[in-house]
Amino acid sequence: MPFHAGAQYDRGVNHDRARALSEGGNRISATTSANDPGGASSPADPAGQNDRDVAPDWLGAGEYSALAATSAAAIAAAAWAGRGDKDAADGAATDAMRSALSSLPGSAVVVIGEGEKDDAPMLYNGEEVGAGGGGHRYHIAVDPLECTNFCAAGLPGALATIAFSEEDCMWSPGPAFYMEKLVVPPAAREAIAIEEGPEQNLRRVAEALGKPIEEMRVVILDKPRHESLIEELRSLGALVATPAEGDVAGSLEVLLPDGGADVCLGIGGTPEGIMTACAARSLGGGMQIRLAPQADEEREAVAGAGLDAERVYNRDEIVSGDSLFVATGVTSGTLLRGPWRSDSAILTESIVIGAGRVQRVVENTFG
């Protein structure tokens, strides 16, 4: 079982100190305000909702279970890192996350998960998890292994991810597998209009951030469907990073106070989009999406569900209440370190985003 003692460490701590503290059976964490990268107190969020000092009761209760779920998934998937079998890695992560969620006090419904797209037998849309017993009721979005190919190849950046909201506060994309998204920092959240196209949005965000186009850093997944989009934005002078995978990580680069990107856009998975919206709401960032079915079967399913692929959804339509996002490193990358062993303990590093705060957590599990 993870230990949850409250030893604190300074932001930017090196892993040697984190390891030393964790060997003593501690959970150690550094907390940062969404509006103050240094972690000191700062003025309230201009929108009046994202930089809270006190988290709602359900958020604290859900954090323990969310961390347990992503840590278990990360440890299970990391055992398959570099073994060339992405399906085995994803299956191991899903099994471990589902098992951990069975101990969740209360109950949760999977709004978007593994089952529909990947034919997974668990953590499918609509599945109910948890121990029951009359506790809190949640809606959750899950991706037990984000960047499956990275994990299989032993490359940096794979994550185990989950998002929680209060019951009935998380929008369901139904049978849609893909969505077009536009994610921006808090200072630009009122500047975006996804229907006006990438060039116009890039210019608006640049103006909101007070930057020339040539200094704008954009994240777009390196997919054939994005070739013309990448070329267009580079022709305008923007700096475009093109990771092969990492929908969630790319958005976090925009949303986190110490992230290095200004815009994330393009077409990605619906689970990743819903989880990104949870992080964006917690941190005051801006986000808009449209469903973007990529195959005839998906288009027919979306239309059959009564969903309009042309409709624009704003952040607060995707998640309409308080939310929590948690990710744990699977393979070490720039955002999080993957699990590592120290004597009899396996250590994990996670990021927890909720109530306007970013918390980095190192936990240990004996086994």
The tokens describing 181, both together, are 């998204």
**Predicted local distance difference test score (pLDDT) of residue 161:** 98
State how far Cα 103 lies from the chain centre.
22
Residue 191 contacts residue 272 (beta carbons within 8 Å): no
C-beta of residue 339 within 8 angstroms of C-beta of residue 348 = yes
The strand ranges marked E within 122-251 are: 128-132, 137-146, 159-166, 178-184, 217-219, 239-241
| Lookup result for tokens 């590093």 | 349
**What is the residue-level pLDDT of the chain in tens, covering all 367 positions?**
332 322 222 233 333 333 333 333 456 666 665 544 333 223 234 343 444 445 677 777 789 999 999 999 999 999 999 999 999 999 999 999 999 999 999 999 999 997 566 566 689 999 999 998 888 999 999 999 999 999 999 999 999 999 999 999 999 999 999 999 999 999 999 999 999 999 999 999 999 999 999 999 999 999 999 999 999 999 999 999 999 999 999 999 999 989 999 999 999 999 999 999 999 999 999 999 999 999 999 999 999 999 999 999 999 999 999 999 999 999 999 999 999 998 889 999 999 999 889 999 998 776 6
Domain ranges of the chain: 6-170+324-366, 178-318
CB half-sphere exposure, 225, CA atoms < 13 A: 13
* Rounded-to-10 torsion of CA 336, 338, 339, 341: -110
CATH topology of domain 6-170+324-366: Fructose-1,6-Bisphosphatase; Chain A, domain 1 (3.30.540)
- Fold for 178-318, please state it: D-Maltodextrin-Binding Protein; domain 2 (3.40.190)
How far, in Å, CA of 335 to CA of 120, rounded?
27
